[in-house]
Chain A
Amino acid sequence: DVVMTQTPPSLSVAIGQSVSISCKSSQSLVYSDGKTYLHWLLQSPGQSPKLLIYQVSNLGSGVPDRFSGTGSQKDFTLKISRVEAEDLGVYYCVQATHFPPTFGGGTKLELK
């Protein structure tokens, strides 16, 4: 299975600060159709995960443009500009290029 490695495992931030989370895969995530099926999820405390970004850089429905995703092949980054209180929780990357889909270990975003 493809191993997804997220760093850092936790982040302590102040409201208004910008942060980045890294996600690296053990194999290239480019599918045979040319698309890259790397997505980002946010699990707020006590909630189900929610899709933030799909296929590397596309914002999910209703997701503010403070969130952005970049990357290619095996190396991906989620950036949050101007963190707000509602952004706190655990962020996961997930790949759906290779079977079975696999998730990163998560990055917990906390208030400083």
Chain B
Amino acid sequence: QVKLLQSGAALVKPGASVKMSCKASGYTFTDYWVSWVKQSHGKSLEWIGEIYPNSGATNFNEKFKGKATLTVDKSTSTAYMELSRLTSEDSAIYYCTRSVFDYWGQGVMVTVSS
């Protein structure tokens, strides 16, 4: 069955960066785009961007350009998202999701605090 297993929660200082992972299984990783979605506390969902594992092609929400970097490791079927220059506004849960939102990871809670 399709699974997306994300890395654990992160506590990071303002101004630092954080990199999280999303390991896919149960399907051909290179056949589907992987999207990343932000959910701030108690709020709705925001689409950050997507990556196509086969080619590494990416598309970003304008709002997250310069904030998020997406990469993949095809050898381990893992997608990564790095968030840079973190502020309190980046404290949220981040989900990876396959293609048209049909499968989701369990989420990574990122807390930005000194």
Contacts and interface: CB of A to CB of B under 8 A. Distances in A.
Contacts of A104: 44
A105 to B, nearest CB: 5
Interface of B: 35, 44-47, 59, 61-62, 95, 97, 100-107
B100 A39 contact: yes
A102 B47 contact: yes
A94 interface: yes
15 contacts: A41-B101, A48-B95, A48-B106, A49-B45, A49-B97, A49-B104, A51-B100, A51-B101, A51-B102, A54-B100, A92-B44, A92-B45, A100-B47, A100-B59, A103-B45
A102 B104 CA distance: 16
A22 B97 CA distance: 24
A39 B101 contact: yes
Contacts of B107: 48
Contact of B46 (A54, A60, A96, A103): A103
A82 B59 CA distance: 40
A85 B104 CA distance: 22
A101 interface: yes
Which of B35, B44, B106 has the most chain A CB atoms closer than 10 A to its own CB? B44
Nearest to B48: A100
Given A48-B95, A48-B107, A49-B95, A103 B102 contact: no
